């Protein structure tokens, strides 16, 4: 484990903790006693997509283990530099679905609002690692046109705050957005897709709980935990007030080779999530984004793994195994081919 001196003091605000995140690969490797694994290709990979890891999350990694499943999610590797056929810059066609002002409208009755490009952590497999946030996010100045767009389309019933990570916005901005959304009569549901409760639980502060607890919108938060070791006592404690405030807590994870592609790990993940009041929602097949091919698990292996989970878990703890497909009107459930 990481020396105590590098664990953030409890008194640091979440903003300070974000500012103190690891942004040098050498420093993280040194703190994990893994310096001998450093290579210049790691820096090249980080040029394409920055390296950033909150110290809280790094402290959960096992010292001396280059195969640690938490480390593998964030460590830039030479493999990212290899191009693989089928792995592209915009695998989900997000740029085609972009309606302007940060709104992605692909699915019936619900829209994604890209509120910020900032994330607390940079996950190497991220499907948005090449997303041109600069031109596609709703910066604060564009929120009015984005809200205007939402007001004008009464077929929209749910707004999903996405990013980047919407919880990297401050509470004042979030409050402004939530209050503006609840004034739009046809919008009934608010959803927040975020990895912050997992990688920096201190982000769930009292003002945030109040904003989400007080809104008249039916509110859910979809976190993103991939491995049972990401679920800590701190996270449990941070989420408790949200549960009490009536927020629905869900999780989506990404199936990642070397990280969580085993049935025992997935079963433990689902059971631990539920012990914190979180329901497993989706298990995603990796989006085929350039630089992430080394994480891919083939469909047959994914289906076998899911079958094994199905045998071991109650139905309500079994996430749906899905893939996102460019242009499709919903996520696609993975199915066995007919002859199997």
Residue ranges in contact with ligand SF4 by CB under 6 A: 119, 121-123, 126, 128, 163-165, 195, 224
Query: Residue 18: which of ligand PLP, ligand SF4, none does it interact with, CB under 5 to 8 A by kind?
Result: none
Among the listed ranges 103-111, 117-125, 213-221, 265-273, the one in contact with ligand PLP (CB under 6 A) is 103-111
Q: Which is nearer to ligand PLP, 84 or 331 (CB)?
A: 331
Among the listed ranges 36-44, 106-114, 145-153, 175-183, the one in contact with ligand PLP (CB under 6 A) is 106-114
Whole-angstrom Cα distance, residue 290 to residue 158? 30
CA distances from 69 to 13, 145, 279 (A): 27, 41, 22
Stretch 274-333 residues interacting with ligand PLP (CB under 6 A): 324, 330-331
CB of 126 to ligand SF4, least distance (A): 3
Q: Is 95 in the site for ligand PLP (CB under 6 A)?
A: no
CB of 252 to ligand PLP, least distance (A): 8
Q: At what angle do helices 206-214 and 171-182 cross, to 10 degrees?
A: 0
Stretch 128-167 residues interacting with ligand PLP (CB under 6 A): 160
Classify the C-alpha dihedral 214-166-321-242 as positive or negative. negative
**CB distance 74 to 39 below 8 Å:** no
**CB distance 286 to 295 below 8 Å:** yes
Whole-angstrom Cα distance, residue 36 to residue 83? 26
Whole-angstrom Cα distance, residue 53 to residue 59? 10
Which residues have C-beta within 8 Å of that of residue 316, sequence separation ≥ 6?
Answer: 279
Query: Residue 160: which of ligand PLP, ligand SF4, none does it interact with, CB under 5 to 8 A by kind?
Result: ligand PLP
Query: Residue 21: which of ligand PLP, ligand SF4, none does it interact with, CB under 5 to 8 A by kind?
Result: none
Query: Residue 126: which of ligand PLP, ligand SF4, none does it interact with, CB under 5 to 8 A by kind?
Result: ligand SF4
Relative to beta strand 110-114, strand 103-107 is: antiparallel
């Amino acid at each position: 484990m990481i020396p105590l001196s590098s664990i953030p003091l409890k008194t640091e605000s979440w903003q300070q903790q974000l500012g103190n995140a690891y942004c040098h690969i050498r420093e993280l490797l040194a703190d994990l006693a893994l310096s001998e694994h450093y290579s210049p290709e790691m820096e090249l990979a980080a040029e394409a997509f920055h390296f950033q890891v909150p110290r809280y999350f790094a402290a959960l990694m096992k010292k001396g283990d280059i195969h640690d499943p938490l480390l593998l999610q964030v460590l830039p590797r030479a493999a990212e530099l290899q191009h693989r056929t089928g792995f592209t810059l915009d695998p989900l066609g997000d740029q085609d679905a972009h309606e302007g002002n940060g709104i992605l409208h692909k699915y019936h009755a619900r829209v994604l609002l890209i509120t910020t490009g900032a994330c607390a952590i940079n996950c190497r497999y991220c499907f948005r690692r090449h997303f041109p946030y600069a031109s596609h996010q709703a910066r604060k100045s564009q929120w009015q046109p984005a809200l205007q767009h939402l007001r004008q389309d009464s077929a929209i019933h749910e707004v999903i705050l996405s990013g980047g990570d919407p919880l990297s916005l401050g509470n004042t901005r979030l409050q402004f957005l939530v209050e503006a959304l609840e004034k739009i009569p046809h919008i009934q549901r608010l959803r927040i897709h975020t990895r912050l409760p997992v990688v920096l639980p201190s982000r769930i502060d009292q003002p945030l709980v109040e904003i989400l607890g007080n809104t008249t919108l039916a509110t859910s938060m979809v976190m993103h935990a991939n491995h049972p070791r990401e679920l800590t006592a701190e996270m449990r404690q941070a989420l408790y007030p949200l549960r009490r405030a009536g927020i629905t807590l869900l999780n989506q994870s990404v199936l990642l080779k070397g990280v969580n592609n085993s049935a025992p790990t997935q079963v433990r993940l689902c059971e631990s999530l539920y012990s914190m009041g979180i329901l497993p929602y989706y298990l995603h097949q990796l989006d085929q984004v350039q630089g992430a091919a080394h994480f891919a698990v083939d469909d047959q292996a994914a289906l076998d793994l899911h079958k094994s989970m199905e045998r071991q878990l109650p139905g309500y703890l079994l996430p749906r195994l899905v893939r996102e497909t460019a242009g499709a009107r919903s996520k696609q459930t993975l199915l066995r081919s007919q002859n199997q």
